Amino acid sequence: MTNQNQNQKPNVIIIMADQLRYDAIGQFTPHLNELKKESVVFNRAYCASPICVPARGAFFTGRYPNETGCLINPWAEQDRMNGMVKEGIPHLYQLMEQQWDSWHTGKQHLFYNFKPEQQSESQTHWNTEADYMDYLKEHGKQAPGGPRFTGLVPEMVTGRHTTVKSYSIPFMDRYTEGLDYFFDGYITNRSLDALASRNKEKPLFLSTMFLAPHPPYHLPEPWYSMIGEEEFELPDNVGVWYPDQSPLQMYNLTGVLGTRYSREEWRSIWAKYLGLVNLLDDGVGRIIEELKKRNLYDNSLIIFTSDHGEMLGSHRLWQKFCMYEESVRTPLWIKFPDGFVPSVNEVNETVSSLDVLPTLCEFLGLDKPESLSGKSLMPLIRGVKQDKEAIYIQYDGNGSLGNFQRCIVKGRYKLIVDLFKDETYLELYDVVADPQETINLAVLGSHDDELNQLMALLKKHMELTGDHIEMNEELLRRRLRR
């Protein structure tokens, strides 16, 4: 274990938001702002997939979705197995529970054919969505959301035929049951229970998986009314469809739903989203306060991140399910325990959520599983300069296999390959000079060298990871010229 007394292992706290835009932190997040000041901040961190189950499958195993086999949210029975991590691939809870008192509270989207919480040999204390629903039933309360918060959209199944599904829309209303019965209030309370009930003979591992600011926008007071529509600035790309962005997004629920709303309507929606962000911040603040009260904070390694982002009207799109920065770039901070002093306060190199597990393995002295795709961030944290790594991201559909996207980010450039049926569309962005991705360089013909380099790297990555999608480079170029 790095710079730690072997007999005094640190507590490890992972706090993960759901669908949190990296740029939503600041104005309405005082507790997160304080944590950020005490952390190593990774300014260019990306998820492995812009959708819950594959993103978490990759995060907790340190492997790409192609390698885990977990590509989608397994809601359609025909494609269910494409949402499961392959049996035998170890995950973080298994690594931690051998020496740490391991607790999970909140959203549980690490899916195997038999869920980790169903395994009799698991030593982790699990409190999941099922426990929350039992809690509501016991107290005669209704869960947030419902039919008013959903709309109908088309969705491909097995990549071959179209069905009609019901998915969330940005409908807004007050949740009148109160914070304790709101999912994130429940998660916070159960996390506090874990701190009180922990085995004091062992260091603590707490994995707190919030739902906020994921829809539905069915918020309790005071958060529903907390933020006025004139209290914040909307990003310039909200409500704007750019001429050279992928038209194939119109076959994805991102465009099917997102293009229904004007910029002014998005302003109202943003107010509720930011209310949820503040509610999340309040929960994080309560957990940190309790860690300090119980004298656990100083000897705790705390990771704050999100599984993916949220478009929230940027590019006139809704939810995630795409490769734009708002969807795939995530906050990633690591607050180290006393006794270890990082050499840097922030890192500007591109990193992936896959890198968290090998980082923990190195710092904590855990036996690192074989064949990890992620790489330890400890050299960067120690200030060691490294060759710039390419970051790979994939999307294979929401509740079933259908809309396929592949992405590579290397240095300042990002290449997006968007595929739907027999169509393909390319986008290339300089995300340093153009972080809102307004100018698709692929159609200009001025960056063919960068395009060709990224295309070759992406194709090699897809082959190495056993991707079920194949790219015909010459065909792609011909389509691009057209």
pLDDT tens-digit map of 202-231: 999 999 999 999 999 999 999 999 999 999
Q: Which domain holds residue 255?
A: 11-377
Tell whether 440 is covered by a domain.
no
Residue 459 clears pLDDT 80, i.e. is over it: yes
Please report which helix (H) or strand (E) contains residue 280, including its range: helix 263-293
Residue 466 clears pLDDT 50, i.e. is over it: yes
Q: What is the mean pLDDT of residues 129-137?
A: 98
Percent of the chain residues topping a pLDDT of 90: 91
Yes or no: say if 210 and 107 are a contact pair by the CB < 8 Å rule.
yes
At 5 the pLDDT is 43
Tokens standing for 320? 């995630």
Residue 426 β-bridge partners: 417
CA dihedral 434, 438, 439, 440 (to 10 degrees): 110
User: Cβ atoms within 10 A of the Cβ of 26, count?
Assistant: 12
Tell whether 435 is covered by a domain.
no
pTM, full prediction: 0.96
At 385 the pLDDT is 84
CATH number at residue 304: 3.40.720.10
At 189 the pLDDT is 98
Higher pLDDT, 386 or 303: 303
At 481 the pLDDT is 59
User: Cβ atoms within 10 A of the Cβ of 5, count?
Assistant: 10
Distances in Å between the Cα of 201 and the Cα atoms of 48, 100, 190 are 36, 9, 20
At 120 the pLDDT is 86
Yes or no: say if 386 and 349 are a contact pair by the CB < 8 Å rule.
yes
Tell whether 176 is covered by a domain.
yes
For the ranges 97-101, 394-398, 445-449, which has the lowest average pLDDT?
445-449
At 304 the pLDDT is 99
Count of CA atoms in the C-beta half-sphere (13 A) of 140: 0
Buried b (16+ CB within 10 A) or exposed e, 431-469: beeeebbebbbbeeeebeebbebbbeebbebbeebebee
At 4 the pLDDT is 44
pLDDT tens digits for range 335-380: 999 999 999 999 999 999 999 999 999 999 999 999 999 999 999 9
Total domains in the chain come to 1
At 23 the pLDDT is 97
Task: Return the sign of the alpha-carbon dihedral for residues 441, 465, 356, 114.
Answer: positive
Residue 330 clears pLDDT 90, i.e. is over it: yes
Yes or no: say if 342 and 336 are a contact pair by the CB < 8 Å rule.
yes
pLDDT tens digits for range 52-111: 999 999 999 999 999 999 999 999 999 999 999 999 999 999 999 999 999 999 999 999
Tell whether 467 is covered by a domain.
no
At 6 the pLDDT is 43
